[in-house]
Chains A and B, each alone.
Chain A
Amino acid sequence: MKPPPFEYYAPTTVEEALSHLAEHGYDAKPLAGGQSLIPMMNFRLAQPSVLVDLNNIPELAYIRPDENGGALVGAMTRHKIVGHDPLIAKQVPLVHEAIPNIGTPQVRTRGTFGGSLSHADPSAELVAISVALKGRFKLRSQKGERWIPANEFFTGPFTSALEPEELLVEINLPRLPERSGWSLMEVVRRHNDFALIGVAAVVKLDKNGICEEARLVFLSAGDRPMEAHQAAELLKGQSPTAEAIQAAAEKAASADIDPGGDIHATAEFRRHLANVLSRRALDDAFKRAKGN
């Protein structure tokens, strides 16, 4: 057998799952869709001695509207369900558009929204998007619950703010305000593979067409989702002209990200792609903002 042995628990309520996590601490790992954890266990890169299977907890799978026109997504909601959900398509279209880029069709039937975020892979679409949308995550343990903004959740490569006894139970995806636009651009060698680099852009214009807010968040560009703060500063208060967009894209690619080099692409090539993609994504996002 490929994976190392482990003790297995299949709780049917969140309470029960949290008690297993509290009891076993660092030795335990929650098992969501298993589309990242199980391959890591097959390679023995991960060897948790206790698995707490969340697949039998129906209370963790749902999509509901929040009070402000956004969505609340239960952590065990599978990608395919999110991809087909009319509320997500209407209120959080950036997520709707990103779902087909996640894994393969067979991965999306099993993989879950909360599982992908908890895995905190810096090359994952949902990780970058949740930051671009200013999403918020509800974490629960036996001691209680807390909300944490997406940009504080991701603390390093495959590392999050989750304590060992904590579970990500719900994700709040806010609806973007009026005159907002968004875009997601990626360069991928083969469809469904990990992106060489990608960027999610969210922008907001004021009544006079001046950029009020701009967020560019990159995937596969550093040890966590990389937010381009300096590029955003360049755009704020500016009319989104081709020159302003170009300047922001160049700043993002040269100063805001920290891409690595590997057999798939050099760091330099990734910066080049980041520049091109940022320009296109901003262009696209500002066009949508003008239409909204």
Chain B
Amino acid sequence: MGVRRESEATPTKNRTGVERKSERELVVTRTVNAPARLVFEAWTKAELFRRWWVPKSYGLTLLSCEMDVRVGGQYRLVFRHEDSTMEFFGTYLEVTPHSRLVWTNEEGDNGKTVTRVTFDENAGKTLLVVHDLYPSKEALDSGSTGALPEALDQLDELLASLGSSSATK
């Protein structure tokens, strides 16, 4: 529906901005108070990545997290979901140390979402831009982002899939 939202920058706290750039694109931005090499490390080492990718407040259990971060390498995240498990997986398409990561999200039914993360260092801080390109408008609206959910009681479940499929992941 085209609501545009920019991050409301405040001087005191790092703000997370989300913007729907087009019907197939979602962009998330955040500045991290550290040089790009350290931020990149936190995105590319599985033992670090798994510590922050699933926020503790979401109560999801990440059973395993494997990341072969090189062009053509695969990643796979396995979550406990009720009595079974959910998996999120894909392939790294671009790996440029300290500046750029691109991967596919292959678990969806309606084609691959491609996630591109750029790390832009300036004065010791790093601007992170996470760009998700969905295979179709429908995939974004009804898919993993939890956009336009089917029912209130599914919101939590959607957040679970959101947490792992929208950008992963």
Task: Tell me whether A and B are bound partners.
Answer: no
Binding site for B on A (CB under 8 A): none
Question: Which residues of B line the A interface, CB within 8 A?
Answer: none
